Structure 1
Amino acid sequence: MAGPSEPVHVLSVGAWSPVVERLWAAGAETSLLCDAEMLDQHQGLSEHRSVTVTRAAGLEELVALAEGVHARAPLSHAVSFDDTSMVAAARIREELGLGGGDPSTVVGTVHDKDRYRSALTGTPAAVPHAVVGSVDDVLRFGRTHGWPIVVKPVSGSGSAGVTLGVGPDGAADALARATVRTHYTPTGRAMAEVQVRGRVITVDTLSHAGAHEVMSIGFELPGAAHPAMMIYGVPAPLTDTERRDVVGTVTSALARLGVTTGPAHTELLLTAEGTPVLIETQLRPGGDFPELTLAASGLDVYDAWARQLLGEDPLPRIREAAASAGTCAVIACGAPDVEADYLELRDLDEVRAHDDVAGVRVLRQPPYRSASARTRDDLSVTVMSTAPTAQLALRRAVRALGGARMRVTTHGGGGAAGPPPVGLEPRTSTAGGRPFKSEEAP
């Protein structure tokens, strides 16, 4: 493992991350090991010392390929920036004696939702759960613990395969959805757990030598303010007591799970009684939260992680940023929600021109055909705004998002006989679902 003055050669396993750019800026050497399906997302391929591309390689093959890279140019670290490659990176670290993260036993426990829940049994963060292999198992769990429940894959990334609010009539469909094998849900195993209601809070941390420092406490609002399908913000508007309880719950869970090194993104629910209940943890920064954290506090999450890989202690810099933070940042994510051919995004320059808009990003560039937006993969555009309070930043972001328009052709025959056209600007009529305004293509 490289020390502060030793050469750094980091093997990046899997998906792209801006952490790699930060490593290059610091003069570190990197190599890439990834599946062919991920190659297009990577930037600056020529900057790597070596690039190894695989196709659906198994764990042992990935370790062998990493050994080949190591033999040609000794590696100091192996890291992954996506959930599906983290166990492989951990195994590579173990086989080659590298730094960059925790052992595969820890990584595997965090990413296996059954093991994750079981590891927290007996703590305030515990949630009743059970692996379910049949509809009868789901029904038995619901009868025992009360309806509704959550059914989800045992090993999965994000919300893939997860069904909330499951009752007896939905047990079969929920189980079928949770057991579909995909790249993001590879095992085909499912589990049920008690459904808890509350505000969605996120906590991004960086762990160094077993100490856990909070980089941001954020919030999520799914479909809370049309035309936004999803809203993310930093910092979450919490009381001092709520913040203390949230941070204590998360850091205690990380310690219980054995996490000692690197970033973690933990999602939880804060109940009406003020009780934090963990949903899950990923060993990476969370989605848009690095961008929000940078806007709110000036802390570059990717740079902090890169500095740790370079041998520095990143925690003092994180504490300094937290002490000086005074801005709230919110990202509003928008998409039409009817089945349509999305042809053109319009008026984005006008959206960017808003004084209170800090950034606009197109997630999916038309033309494309899509059914009703259901997940983040269906979103079209995001707008970030900043303000002294979360409430004001939210209003600014949603108002600015409403200035974007989508030219579409709706399915079902088009014209007056088809479903109503949609866009990203609010209107008073709510025919056809969410209140959107658009221009229908001729």
Structure 2
Amino acid sequence: MSEHILIVGTGRDFPARIRAARPGARTTVFCRLDSVGRVRDPGDNARVLGLRDDAPEQEWVDLAAAVHARDPFTRIGTFGERNQNHYARIAEALGLTAHSPDTVHLVHDKRAMRARLSEAGVDSTAGVRVSGVEELRTFVRRYGLPCVVKPVSNSGSAGITKVTDESGLAEAYARAASSYEGLADAGVLVEEFLDGPQFSVEAVSEAGEHQVVAITAKFSDPASFVELGHVTPARLTDEVRDEVHTYVGAVLDALGVEFGPTHSEICLTEKGPRLIETHVRMGGDEIPALVRDATGVDVDECAARQTLGESVLPDVRATLAENRPAPCSAVWFAALESTGVLDRVGRLDEARSLPGVTEVRLLAKPGAEVGGLTSSDSRVAFARALADTPEDAARAARGAVELLEFTLKVSPHQGRAI
């Protein structure tokens, strides 16, 4: 029987990747109705199915089961965060290999994640799910300020606030309580503030074994926590790098991660690595491209191959062990303080021709409303660059972004902004 893979979510370019990797393989895409228009080359799939955003989870399972009864699925995959709860429940019902519903719940519900890591003796960072501002004040009285208030489930750094004064608790709670991308388990979480440099850790797991591929330094806006830049490999001592590898492996074990790519965000505190959050998916913000440039490991390819049931860990380790030039790769994002409608972007060609720059891309099109930095979606452009050191790579990427000129159309009362 030929492979028939159910892709939950739009899948980006992964349905095409999977069909190309396994001749004769067919893909069915199952996503939310509001995402159907983002399915690439829909006619190349066996079918594209859509359900309303508010459809009960059992309806997702029942529809998948109905198709499975007529045209059995051999495998299942998902490549984003928004639909992982549906993916896990469908896989459980159809007997397909996937992350367990428990693991998906733990990585989505940050309060449950904190509890599991504490029980396992991996991380004791305080975090409490709260239902009102008074409960926030109770947390502050016990653990002090600053604290971080954020959605229990979120994506793209949306809804996160660092609170340094009790007067900001109400506003932080309201911001975190808003809905973000339809992720399950909405609610508000307050955590103790982790002080120290932040990094993301990209890993690939297989049969419960974890291999860290890269540690990436990240640079975030101090007010909104939205990430503005990344560079890999991070400049760390061998001792710290080994400590991070061991720690992330323990986190993934505690959360029951058995396979696939993971993206873990950590803070290096005085007490050692502490988890901010982890995800059973590839990193965003062009991090897979940075990792590929710096290490030769294509995490996206690993995800596609594992969805087809292939073993990837031996190839990953062989690539990491190669004696090859190891450039440093960085990305930097542009964000605008002024608010208005994007009219034009100047000096693109100049930015693209700067030494070391490999890509400059616009994230906002002319006519889009832009301004402010509330989430990753607020950013308007990015540049990637290669160099011999992390510092030079980050400097080149940032320099390309800073060269760009953005012209906005604004209402008369807003004045003019460029």
Deviation string, structure 1 residues 404-423 (Cα, Å, up to 9, x no partner): 22122344446xxx25x22x
Which residue of the other structure, out of 51, 56, 59, is the alignment partner of 1:58? 56
- The letter of the residue matching 2:99 is D
Q: 1:174 & 1:183 partners in 2: Cα distance?
A: 19
Report the equivalent of 1:38.
Answer: 35
- The letter of the residue matching 1:15 is T
Deviation string, structure 1 residues 67-100 (Cα, Å, up to 9, x no partner): 122123211222222222101101111100112x
Report the equivalent of 2:311.
Answer: 313
Cα shift at 1:132: 1.1
- Aligned residue for 2:202, secondary structure, equals strand
Q: 2:221 & 2:152 partners in 1: Cα distance?
A: 26
Aligned counterparts, 1:62-141, within 5 A: 62-99=60-97, 101-122=98-119, 123-141=121-139
Deviation string, structure 1 residues 297-354 (Cα, Å, up to 9, x no partner): 2221111111112222101111122223611100011132111221011222222223
What is the RMSD computed on CA atoms of the aligned residues? 2.0
Normalising by structure 1, we get a TM-score of 0.87
Cα shift at 1:373: 3.0
- The letter of the residue matching 1:236 is A
Report the equivalent of 1:176.
Answer: 174
Which residue of the other structure, out of 242, 245, 263, is the alignment partner of 1:244? 242
Which residue of the other structure, out of 13, 23, 29, is the alignment partner of 1:18? 13
Aligned counterparts, 1:255-274, within 5 A: 255-271=253-269, 273=270
Question: What are structure 1's unaligned runs of at least 5 residues?
Answer: 1-5, 423-442
Task: Classify 1:48/1:372 alpha carbon distance in 2 versus 1 (closer, same or farther; 3 Å).
Answer: same
The size of the alignment, in residue pairs, is 408
Q: 1:188 & 1:92 partners in 2: Cα distance?
A: 21
Task: Classify 1:388/1:161 alpha carbon distance in 2 versus 1 (closer, same or farther; 3 Å).
Answer: same
Q: 1:68 & 1:185 partners in 2: Cα distance?
A: 25
Cα shift at 1:399: 1.5
Q: 1:154 & 1:403 partners in 2: Cα distance?
A: 37
Q: 1:177 & 1:223 partners in 2: Cα distance?
A: 17
Which residue of the other structure, out of 199, 202, 223, is the alignment partner of 1:201? 199
Q: 1:223 & 1:157 partners in 2: Cα distance?
A: 16
Cα shift at 1:223: 4.3
Report the equivalent of 1:8.
Answer: 3
Q: 1:174 & 1:168 partners in 2: Cα distance?
A: 10
Normalising by structure 2, we get a TM-score of 0.92
Tell me if the contact between 2:163 and 2:172 (Cα under 8 Å) persists in the aligned partners.
no
- Aligned residue for 1:119, secondary structure, equals helix
Cα shift at 1:46: 1.4
Name whichever of 361-370 and 261-270 sits farther off. Answer: 361-370
Tell me if the contact between 1:153 and 1:185 (Cα under 8 Å) persists in the aligned partners.
no
Tell me if the contact between 2:75 and 2:308 (Cα under 8 Å) persists in the aligned partners.
no
Tell me if the contact between 1:67 and 1:96 (Cα under 8 Å) persists in the aligned partners.
yes
Report the equivalent of 2:298.
Answer: 300
Cα shift at 1:260: 0.4
Report the equivalent of 1:431.
Answer: none
Tell me if the contact between 2:215 and 2:234 (Cα under 8 Å) persists in the aligned partners.
yes
Deviation string, structure 1 residues 19-53 (Cα, Å, up to 9, x no partner): 33321211232110011211222212111111112
Tell me if the contact between 2:77 and 2:307 (Cα under 8 Å) persists in the aligned partners.
no
Q: 1:187 & 1:307 partners in 2: Cα distance?
A: 30
Report the equivalent of 1:212.
Answer: 210
Q: 1:394 & 1:223 partners in 2: Cα distance?
A: 15
Tell me if the contact between 1:338 and 1:373 (Cα under 8 Å) persists in the aligned partners.
no
- Aligned residue for 1:386, secondary structure, equals strand
Moved beyond 6 Å, runs of 4+: none
- Aligned residue for 1:84, secondary structure, equals coil
Report the equivalent of 1:338.
Answer: 338
Deviation string, structure 1 residues 394-440 (Cα, Å, up to 9, x no partner): 111112222222122344446xxx25x22xxxxxxxxxxxxxxxxxx
Q: 2:403 & 2:180 partners in 1: Cα distance?
A: 37
- The letter of the residue matching 1:110 is V
- The letter of the residue matching 1:398 is R
Task: Classify 1:229/1:407 alpha carbon distance in 2 versus 1 (closer, same or farther; 3 Å).
Answer: farther
- Aligned residue for 2:145, secondary structure, equals coil
- Aligned residue for 1:330, secondary structure, equals strand
Task: Classify 1:155/1:400 alpha carbon distance in 2 versus 1 (closer, same or farther; 3 Å).
Answer: closer
Q: 1:185 & 1:310 partners in 2: Cα distance?
A: 26
Question: What are structure 2's unaligned runs of at least 5 residues?
Answer: none
Identical-residue share of aligned pairs (%): 32
Aligned counterparts, 1:149-188, within 5 A: 149-188=147-186
Tell me if the contact between 2:158 and 2:376 (Cα under 8 Å) persists in the aligned partners.
no
- Aligned residue for 1:98, secondary structure, equals coil
Cα shift at 1:369: 2.2
